[in-house]
Amino acid sequence: MGTEIDPDYAHRHSIVDELFIKTADDNYVTARWCFTYSLNVDFFWLAVHALEKYLKAALLLNGRSSKKYAHDIIKLYANVRPLAPELLPAKLTCPPEIASADWHDEPTETFIAQLLRFGQADNRYQLYGYISRREDVFKLDQVVFAVRRLCQPLESHFLGKKCPGVPDVSRREMLKDPASTNLQANLHSHLEEIIDGKRGKLLRHVALNWNFPFAPKGFKHTRIRYRTAVVEPVLVRRILVPLESGHPEQEALSDRLWSWVSLNIQLSVDFLNAYEKSRDKKKAAAKAKAKGT
C-alpha cells in the first residue's frame, strides 16, 4: 500500500532536485569522462560529490534530514541503507558484458569507503595518493543506479495518490518489480535529459558508454580506455621515504623540507600529527636497523 503525497511535496522536490539531484547528475557524468581519460584525482573527487548529493536527496525526499553529514558518504550510506536495504546491492559484482579476469567482488560499503579516502577534500592536493582500478567506473555505475532510484518518496503511492481502479502500490513495491523498475527510476532530471540526447550526442555517449545499468538496449558501446594506476603522495616520496636510508644527509634534508611544508602549506592538525608520528617511526626504525648492522 502507498500513502498519498502531501501538498507541499512538489515544492520540496523542486528544491531537492535543483540543489542535489541535477548537480549530482552533472558530477556523475563528468566523473565518468574523467575516468576515461585517466584524470583520476577528479574522478574520485566528482564521484564522492555525486554520491553525497544523491544520498542526501534520498534522505530529504523520504522525510529525513541531510544535516550533520558534511561530505561523509560512509555515514550517509549507512543512514540511507535502512530506507530500502532490499533495493541496494550488498556486493558489487562483475557485469556479464565485460567478463574481466581482474575484477574482484567487494561489499558496497567497502567501495564507498575507498571512494571517500581517495576523493576526500584533502586529497584534492594528493596528500594521500590513490589507487585507481579498471573496475572502479563500473562499480560507481552500480552504486549510482541503486542509490539514485531512492531519490523519491518510497512509501508514497506510485501515482502520488490513490485512484479508483488502480492498484494500491507504493513506489518501493514498484521498484522491486523488474517490469516497472525503469518507469519508477525515472527522476525526470538532468541524467534523463542526457540519456534522451537532449544535451547533445557527446554527453550522451560519455554517460552511457559501457554503463550497463543505465544504457538502453541497443546502445552502441565504443572502445573505452581504462587502466590501473597507483600514485604515492609526494610528501611520502620526498619526506618519509628518505628517512628509511638512515643517512644523516637524507634525514637533514627531510627535516628541512618538512619544516618548510608545515610552515607554508595549510594542512589539518590531524594530518600534521599523523605525519609527525610517521616521521618519528621512520627515524626510530632506521636507527634500530643501523644498530643491528
Residues in Cβ contact with 195 at an 8 Å cutoff, skipping those fewer than 6 apart: 204, 207, 208, 214, 216
Provide the pLDDT for residue 180: 62
Whether residue 71 contacts residue 48, with contact meaning beta carbons closer than 8 Å, is answered with yes
Provide the pLDDT for residue 277: 95
**DSSP secondary structure code for residue 242 in this structure:** G
Provide the pLDDT for residue 59: 98
pLDDT at position 183 over 70: no
Mean pLDDT over the full length of the chain: 91
pLDDT at position 182 over 80: no
Provide the pLDDT for residue 181: 57
Q: What is the mean pLDDT of residues 236-265?
A: 94
Q: What is the mean pLDDT of residues 115-132?
A: 93
Provide the pLDDT for residue 177: 80
Least reliable range by pLDDT among 63-67, 76-80, 101-105, 109-113: 101-105
Provide the pLDDT for residue 161: 67
Q: What is the mean pLDDT of residues 243-247?
A: 90
| Cα separation, 143 vs 140, whole angstroms | 5
Whether residue 216 contacts residue 195, with contact meaning beta carbons closer than 8 Å, is answered with yes
Instruction: List the grid coordinates of 240.
Output: 618519509
Q: How far is CA 177 from the centre of its chain?
A: 26
Provide the pLDDT for residue 39: 95
Place of cell 579498471: 134
Residues in Cβ contact with 99 at an 8 Å cutoff, skipping those fewer than 6 apart: none
Give me the amino acid identity at 134.
Answer: R
Q: Would you place residue 199 in the very low, low, confident or very high pLDDT band (cuts 50, 70, 90)?
A: very high
Least reliable range by pLDDT among 92-96, 111-115, 174-178: 174-178
Provide the pLDDT for residue 44: 98
Q: What are the respective helix, strand and coil percentages of the chain, to the nearest 5?
A: 60, 5, 35
pLDDT at position 204 over 80: yes
37: helix, strand or coil: coil
| Cα separation, 6 vs 107, whole angstroms | 36
| Cα separation, 87 vs 58, whole angstroms | 13
pLDDT digits (tens, 9 = 90+) for 256-289: 999 999 999 999 899 999 999 999 999 999 988 8
pLDDT digits (tens, 9 = 90+) for 71-107: 999 999 999 999 999 999 999 999 988 877 788 999 9
Q: Would you place residue 224 in the very low, low, confident or very high pLDDT band (cuts 50, 70, 90)?
A: confident
Provide the pLDDT for residue 292: 74
Helix axes 136-148, 40-60, angle to 10 degrees: 10
Helix axes 73-80, 40-60, angle to 10 degrees: 40
Longest dimension (CA), the chain: 87
Instruction: List the grid coordinates of 66.
Output: 541531510
Model confidence, pTM: 0.90
